[in-house]
Amino acid sequence: MTRLGHLLSGRGRLALLLAFALLLPLGLSVVAGDAAAQSGSLRLDDESAAATGPTDGGVPGYTRGLDSDADIWRDIRHGAQGRVAIPDAKAGIMVQSEGEQWQALRMGPLQDYSGWALLGTIVLLAAFFALRGRIRIDHGKAGTTVERFKGIERFGHWLLAISFIVLTLTGLNLLFGRDLILPLLGPEVFAAITLWGKIAHNYVAFAFMAGLVLIFLMWVVHNLPSVTDLKWLAMGGGVLIKGVHPPAKKFNAGQKLIFWSVILGGLSLSLSGWALLFPFETYFFTDTFEQLNAVGIDAAALLGLPPPPYEAIMEQQLNQIWHVIMAVAMTCIILAHIYIGSVGMEGAFDAMGSGQVDKNWAQEHHSIWAEEVEAKARAKGLAEPAE
Ligand code: HEM
């Protein structure tokens, strides 16, 4: 009998079948393993996972293609960063979930509270005007004037003031325009206003920064705190009761508060605005929070934010929120300033208009400064040779 004949004999056939039955599952598991490895479980930032094949949630039948794996989406929702072929590495983040929180805050509470703060300030100023009326020069006008601000000081003030007003109006349009102006003027007009407004906002910001530097250099010495300020504050600045005039130097305590709010608020506005103008280049929040952490202040936790460092996109979102908060706070303060510098107080506007103020106004509101100016004028008069 040949070898083949022996294999196909009764006992031989049984042995062949047994061997086949034993080897079949082994062969199948090798094939299945290969298929699983090829379909792969795609995980961002975890390449080893791709080789292990599907575990949970695999596509039925082990067909090739992406798994509907919840882990992938969880990773993506947590901002896992993959790789992209373009230079902008940030594009490797498919979903930045904080963006949704930012949008909800921007379109909700940020807009609402800003609106209420601005309206509240206007209502308070109107109520103050109704109760107190215009603050008059108690002794009436003297008819003679003294120089309060030189040309360069008025130039610095109006550079700052006009640029701030342009920035405020164009900025408010970005915050509220879609709700308030779009329904009134229609999409064409609103689009044109917003486009030109945005361009103006970007460029006028530089004039604002220049004005800020100018007034800081010119007026910082006059705005250092002094003991007179405490007295002025204790007497409510004399604005609440008629006939009360606490002594003050060139700037009183109220004006010093305005000055420092403008300088510090303006600096903060400028930095956050700069970061928005030249995006993804600064890490102000990461840097600031890390500095605060070093002195034991966990600012991020206090604000309900995740701990730093933040991705570039989140830095932009925080900059945008901060820019609006600072802008609205400053606008409320400046509304009060504009009120007192115009309709609220007789004779005040002249200081920034012609630069000359009435002598009685100077004596009532800035007595120490008025006496200094008079003493200087007397000394100059004595020094000048008689004609
Ligand atoms: C139409 C708008 C404005 C008017 C009528 C106005 C009026 C005035 C006047 C009259 C003074 C001098 C007060 C004095 O003699 O003691 C002054 C000072 C000043 N203004 Fe304005 N201003 C306006 C807008 C602004 C804006 C938008 C800013 C800043 C963003 C600003 C910042 C200042 C500062 C820092 C001072 C010096 C500190 C003080 O007097 O409070 N002003 N302004």
Tell which one of 147, 172, 259, 337 to mutate to probe ligand 1, the residue whose CB is within 8 A of the most ligand atoms: 337
Q: What is the mean pLDDT of residues 47-60?
A: 51
Give the pLDDT band of residue 54 (cuts 50, 70, 90): low
Determine the longest span between alpha carbons in the chain, in angstroms.
Answer: 154
**For residue 28, what pLDDT is reported?**
39
Whether 69 has a pLDDT exceeding 80, the answer reads no
Asked whether residue 5 carries a pLDDT value surpassing 50, the answer given is no
Nearest CA to ligand 1 atom 37: 259
Structure confidence at residue 57 (pLDDT): 56
> Is residue 351 lining ligand 1, measured as CB closer than 6 Å?
yes
How many angstroms does the Cα of residue 341 sit away from the middle of ligand 1? 6
Q: Which residue did the predictor score with more confidence, 177 or 98?
A: 177
Residue 59 — pLDDT band, cuts 50, 70, 90? Answer: low
| Ligand 1 nearest-atom number relative to CA 149 | 15
* Top mean-pLDDT range of 18-22, 235-239, 319-323: 319-323
- The string of DSSP codes covering 3-55 is HHHHHTSHHHHHHHHHHHHHHHHHHHHHHHHHHHHHH----TT-HHHHHH---
User: Can you give the pLDDT at residue 13?
Assistant: 55
β-pairing, 356-358 vs 145-147, is antiparallel
pLDDT in tens, 352-384: 999 999 999 999 999 999 999 999 999 988 776
Q: Is the pLDDT of residue 234 over 80?
A: yes
Residue 17 has pLDDT above 70, yes or no: no
The pLDDT mean for the chain works out to: 86
Question: pLDDT tens digits for 90-134?
Answer: 889 888 888 999 999 999 999 999 999 999 999 999 999 999 999
Maximum mean pLDDT: which of 51-65, 95-109, 190-204: 190-204
Q: What is the pLDDT of residues 311-358, one digit of tens each?
A: 899 999 999 999 999 999 999 999 999 999 999 999 999 999 999 999
Q: Whose CA is nearest to atom 19 of ligand 1?
A: 157
pTM to 2 decimal places: 0.81
User: Could you tell which of 137, 145, 150, 157 is best to mutate to test the pocket of ligand 1, judged by most ligand atoms within 8 Å of the CB?
Assistant: 157
Residue among 155, 185, 136, 159 at smallest CA distance from 345? 136
Q: Residue 200: what residue type?
A: A
Q: How many other CB atoms are there within 10 angstroms of residue 315's CB atom?
A: 22
Burial class (CB in 10 A: 0-12, 13-18, 19+), 63: exposed
Q: Is the CB of 164 under 6 A from ligand 1?
A: yes
Helix then strand count (H, E) for the chain reads 16, 2
The residue-averaged pLDDT of 180-195 equals 98
